């Protein structure tokens, strides 16, 4: 059996689809399962069992002999709105227990970290283990992810194979449930559909013009391919960036969303909300050399190709993947 935690979320459900497509049907999905709009991400997928996240460790104690791999994608992913205790419980301490169970039962592990750990990028965007302790995330979510990365690197007892993946700005199907935390592409699509235009955040940084804030946008289907590769690779344990390696502007993103919808661009700018203005990343770009060095050589979706696939095959039809 293969276990996927956070399986009803965007990344988890895309991974389940990838596993199904590759012939893996004996998949145990772990999540909270209380939100119907999120649960539909698991519709039409072949699963062995659904396990509530609060029962997972009890279930694993009873069934570990049958588990071949764990993908730990579950987390409190909202960057605001929760006290530190919630992030400590769900992102840090829960992940520590997953790790310890993998050590005890000899199970390989891939877990979700985040590019939010890099903060403003003062130390660059290099997935070198030596910089992890010097990073300064901008919010409690990023702190919780970095705290676990630091903890993992300090452990003498480790799963025989493990990988922590620093996901950059992920977009793609199965994010309808994410509300404010959904990708800018989904927000752009909805605004264009409702109003005919798109309002992007103004720049409050002298080095960036409005709309030229730059992020490494990575299509969720590429994440699934990387995780599938690591499931078979099972060596070179460590922390890895997962982006495209090429930053693109929000203007690029919005313009290509209009194009995929067959509409002329109509873009205006509004002030960045004050609650995130001082903690806003103006530039991210993953250094992907480490992953490539261990043998991953699949091409990534370009922003143009990813948006075209996402808009035409999913958003236009309100479809899940």
CB count within 10 Å of CB 210 equals: 16
Task: Return d(Cα 304, Cα 219) in angstroms, integer.
Answer: 10
Catalytic position from the list 141, 171, 176, 314: 141
Terminal Cα distance for the chain, rounded:
22
Q: How far apart are CA 117 and CA 286, in angstroms?
A: 12
* Tokens describing residue 192: 């264009």
- What distance in Å separates the CA atoms of residue 3 and residue 5, rounded to the nearest whole number? 6
Active-site residue, selected from the candidate residues 178, 202, 259, 279: 178
Nearest Cα to Cα of residue 115 among 289, 240, 248: 240
Q: Is 141 an annotated catalytic residue?
A: yes
Asked about 178 being catalytic, the answer comes back as: yes
Q: Can you tell me whether residue 49 is helix, strand or coil?
A: strand
In the structure encoding, which two tokens stand for residue 167, read together?
């996901």
Could you list the active site residues? 141, 178
């Amino acid at each position: 059996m293969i276990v996927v935690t956070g399986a009803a979320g965007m990344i988890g459900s895309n991974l389940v689809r990838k596993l199904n497509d590759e012939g893996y049907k004996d998949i145990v999905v772990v999540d909270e399962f209380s939100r119907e709009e999120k649960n539909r991400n698991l519709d039409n997928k072949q699963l062995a069992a659904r396990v509530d996240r609060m029962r997972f460790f009890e279930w694993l104690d009873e069934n570990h002999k049958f588990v071949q791999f764990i993908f730990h994608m579950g987390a409190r992913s909202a960057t605001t709105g929760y006290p530190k205790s919630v992030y400590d419980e769900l992102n840090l301490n829960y992940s520590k227990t997953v790790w310890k169970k993998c050590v005890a039962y000899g199970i390989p592990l891939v877990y979700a970290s985040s590019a939010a750990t890099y903060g403003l990028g003062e130390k660059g965007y290099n997935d070198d283990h030596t910089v992890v302790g010097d990073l300064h995330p901008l919010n409690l979510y990023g702190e919780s992810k970095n705290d676990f990365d630091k903890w993992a690197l300090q452990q003498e007892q480790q799963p025989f194979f493990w990988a922590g993946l620093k996901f950059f700005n992920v977009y793609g199907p199965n994010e309808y449930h994410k509300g404010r935390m959904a990708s800018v592409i989904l927000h752009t699509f909805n605004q264009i559909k409702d109003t005919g235009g798109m309002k992007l955040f103004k720049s409050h940084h002298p080095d960036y013009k409005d709309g030229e804030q730059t992020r490494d946008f990575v299509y969720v289907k590429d994440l699934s391919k990387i995780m599938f590769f690591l499931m078979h690779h099972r060596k070179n344990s460590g922390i890895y960036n997962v982006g495209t390696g090429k930053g693109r502007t929000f203007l690029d993103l919005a313009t290509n969303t209009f194009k995929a919808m067959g509409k002329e661009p109509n873009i205006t700018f509004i002030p960045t909300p004050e609650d995130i203005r001082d903690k806003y990343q103006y530039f991210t770009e993953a250094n992907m050399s480490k992953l490539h060095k261990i043998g991953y050589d699949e091409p990534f979706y370009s922003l143009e190709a990813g948006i075209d696939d996402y808009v035409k095959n999913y958003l236009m039809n309100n479809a899940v993947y």
